[in-house]
């Protein structure tokens, strides 16, 4: 059944990231019962015919819509938080969600300055009456937990001085750990953990000049623009898990005041389309407008 232009607008308002509140008010508020029935019958991905002969919302889609209506609220709440509280709450949520969200802990530990990470640990104490280190150790077992405890505990030197001989030596350690990863998890190597959790970012970049690119920990530390560009690209796909979609709000809210210009440049260079254009295509309503406003701050 063909939809009228008004109900086509309504369908689009319910699709994508966020919802188009203005279109919903203007179109749905003025619609007649017959128009709404036509909409229900013509959108089987939203509604299905009940055995008692009426069209009802698909339960799964109702759950998804709840998340979409909340995106704008969540973005605004995160943006108005003190950065320390924001990172503390993001870390707590990541621990609750489980392994698929542990990358957020790496993100926080490796892309914040030493003072910012210390502030997040202070906020975590105040909010949850625990240290983030003890909660990470409690929730995450084995080598991964050992590495993450070290990362969230770090207070790195942030100067520019690097000892080249030391960097070369530690690069060999990292290369050796990677080459033998099939025999021993690099996260079990105390030297690898020491290097990743204590060395300054300029020092680790020097390590990479002598070694190979590591996984997300080193990417967060040394090339955060590439890391965040990847998170954004994944979050804007249509077929990803809801946890991955949250990355769009998280990255834009937490990086809008710092390195968003570099992230936008990397996104366009790597994906051939600007981040602004992609968000305009995929997002809706107040949520889209708010994200675009934050992006404009970064130039």
CA torsion through residues 193, 95, 202, 223, sign: positive
111 with 168, same domain: the answer is no
Where does a domain end: 155, 182, 198? Answer: 155
Domain coverage including residue 289 = 226-298
Q: What pLDDT, on a 0 to 100 scale, did the predictor assign at position 9?
A: 82
Query: Is 66 inside any structural domain?
Result: no
Query: Is 23 inside any structural domain?
Result: no
Average pLDDT, stretch 136-163?
86
Average pLDDT, stretch 273-284?
96
- DSSP annotation string for the chain: -PPPHHHHHHHHHTSSBS--HHHIIIIITT--HHHHHHHHHH-TTTEEE-TTS-EEE-HHHHHHHHHHHHHHHHHHHHHHS-HHHHHHHHHHHHHHH-GGGTHHHHHHHHHS-HHHHHHHHHHHHHHHSS-HHHHHHHH--HHHHHHHHHHHH-----SS---HHHHHHHHHHHHHHHHTTTTS-GGG-HHHHHHHHHS-HHHHHHHHHHS---SHHHHHHH-HHHHHHHHHHHHT-TTS-HHHHHHHHHHHHHHTTTTHHHHHHHHHHHHSS-HHHHHHHHB-HHHHHHHHHHHHHT-
Residue 212 has pLDDT above 50, yes or no: no
Q: Note the pTM of the prediction, 2 decimals.
A: 0.76
**CATH number of residue 261's parent domain:** 1.10.220.10
209 with 168, same domain: the answer is yes
174 with 149, same domain: the answer is no
Domain count within the chain: 3
Residue 18 has pLDDT above 60, yes or no: yes
Percent of the chain scored above 90 by pLDDT?
Answer: 49
User: Lowest-pLDDT range, 32-41, 131-140, 178-187?
Assistant: 178-187
Query: Is 57 inside any structural domain?
Result: no
């Amino acid at each position: 059944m063909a939809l009228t232009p008004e109900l086509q607008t309504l369908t689009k308002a319910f699709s994508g990231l966020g919802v188009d509140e203005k279109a919903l008010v203007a179109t749905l508020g003025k619609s007649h019962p017959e128009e709404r029935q036509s909409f229900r019958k013509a959108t089987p991905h939203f509604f299905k015919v009940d055995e008692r002969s009426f069209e009802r919302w698909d339960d799964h889609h109702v759950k998804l819509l709840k998340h979409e209506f909340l995106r704008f609220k969540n973005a605004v709440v995160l943006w108005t938080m003190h950065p320390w509280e924001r990172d503390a709450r993001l870390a707590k949520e990541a621990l609750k969600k489980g392994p698929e969200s542990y990358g957020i802990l790496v993100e926080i530990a490796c892309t914040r300055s030493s003072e910012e990470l210390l502030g997040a640990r202070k906020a975590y104490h105040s909010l949850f009456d625990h240290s983030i280190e003890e909660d990470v150790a409690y929730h995450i077992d084995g080598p991964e937990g050992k590495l993450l405890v070290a990362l969230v505990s770090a207070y790195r030197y942030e100067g520019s001085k690097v000892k080249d001989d030391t960097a070369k030596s530690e690069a060999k350690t990292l290369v050796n750990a990677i080459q033998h990863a099939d025999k021993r998890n690099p996260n079990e190597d105390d030297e690898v953990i020491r290097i990743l959790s204590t060395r300054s970012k300029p020092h680790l970049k020097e390590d990479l000049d002598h070694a190979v690119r590591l996984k997300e920990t080193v990417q967060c530390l040394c090339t955060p623009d590439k890391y965040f560009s990847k998170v954004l690209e994944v979050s804007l796909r249509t077929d990803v898990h809801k946890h991955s979609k949250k990355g769009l709000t998280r990255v834009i809210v937490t990086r809008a005041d710092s390195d968003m210009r570099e992230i936008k440049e990397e996104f366009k260079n790597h994906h051939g389309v600007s981040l602004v254009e992609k968000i305009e295509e995929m997002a809706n309503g107040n949520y889209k407008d708010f994200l675009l406003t934050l992006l404009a701050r970064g130039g």
